[in-house]
Chain A
Amino acid sequence: MSLILNSKKNSLIVHVGGDFDLVSANEFREKIDQSLEETLCQNLLLDLAKATFIDSSGLGVILGRFRKIKANDGQMIIYGPKPAIKKVFEVSGILSLMPVCNTEEEAWKILEKKTFKGA
């Protein structure tokens, strides 16, 4: 499992690699929250292109961050999940809460549109 964090244009970009389960969830939650505080980013882009697995522990982290971002009037967008992970998203109902798209480029487009509408 791996976690890479970058920030750009008021957005924290989180690249998750490997299995997003109980063990990685605890670590990722802490690191993402710490980074959100340090960078003061309002939005969160979650890159799951290199994520190989997710279960309810990973989803819990995603939903928890979503609530934080929303409370701060930001946007959260997920991109790149492989079909098996998308299936988990479908069952969980998360797709009605935040956009899930294929590439980072698409994510930025959605973000710009949403930020513009919200302004």
Chain B
Amino acid sequence: MDKIVNNKIKLEFLSKGENVALARITIAALVSQLELTLNDLEEIKVAVSEAVSNAIIHGYRNQPEGIVTLIGILAEETIYLEIIDQGIGISDIEKAMEPAYSTDPERTGLGFVFMQSFMDEVKVESKVNSGTKVSLTKKINTENKNRAVS
């Protein structure tokens, strides 16, 4: 009775720190519609937290009146997430994604490291003064799924 789950959500919220938890919890609830392991769930929460925090901290420079768009799609065993801001953008994406690279001396430059470790694919599209879109993809292991079901 393997059912294919197909679902999509879109959420828009102000660029406030409090909404990082909101985004995390929303995506956790969405992906829980798939039978995924606790480990996968925790990893997805970290990745969402990183991308949304970046949109707020860097994209909108901690100004709370920006709009962050979060899209979550479940298509069979694959989870697609998009985190979009209309903020300052990234001039050198490759450099931004290097481990330990940060434009903020108070930060450690681990956000993209976590996104890359915890998701299967991380894609960044950005334009200076126009905004950034981070696309995250994770395929849920069907073997684990079957084990959890039985």
**A residues adjacent to B (C-beta < 8 A):** 19, 21-23, 26, 53-57, 59-60, 63-64, 83-84, 87-88, 91-92
Q: Which residues of A contact B111 (CB under 8 A)?
A: 55-56
B30 interface hit (Cβ, 8 Å) = no
A56 lies within 8 A of B107 (CB): yes
Q: Which residues of A contact B27 (CB under 8 A)?
A: none
B18 lies within 8 A of A23 (CB): yes
Q: Which residues of A contact B13 (CB under 8 A)?
A: none
B113 lies within 8 A of A55 (CB): no
- 1/0 per residue, CB under 8 A from A, across B51-63: the answer is 0010011000000
A-B contact pairs, 15 of them (CB 8 A): A21-B49, A22-B17, A22-B53, A23-B17, A53-B42, A55-B49, A55-B111, A57-B53, A59-B108, A84-B38, A84-B39, A84-B42, A91-B113, A91-B118, A92-B113
B101 interface hit (Cβ, 8 Å) = no
**B residues adjacent to A (C-beta < 8 A):** 17-18, 20-21, 24, 38-39, 42-43, 45-46, 49-50, 53, 56-57, 106-108, 110-111, 113-114, 117-118
The winner among A19, A21, A56, A92 for most chain B CB atoms within 10 A is: A56
Extra contacts, 7 of them, besides A21-B53, A22-B17, A91-B117 (Cβ < 8 A), are A22-B57, A55-B46, A59-B110, A60-B107, A84-B38, A88-B46, A91-B113
- Closest beta carbon of chain A to B98's beta carbon, Å: 14
The prevalent SS among residues of A at the interface is helix
- Closest beta carbon of chain A to B129's beta carbon, Å: 24
Contact of B20 among A21, A64, A87 (CB under 8 A): A21
Bound-state CA distance A55–B38 (Å) is 17
A23 lies within 8 A of B21 (CB): yes
B20 lies within 8 A of A22 (CB): yes
- Closest beta carbon of chain A to B5's beta carbon, Å: 23
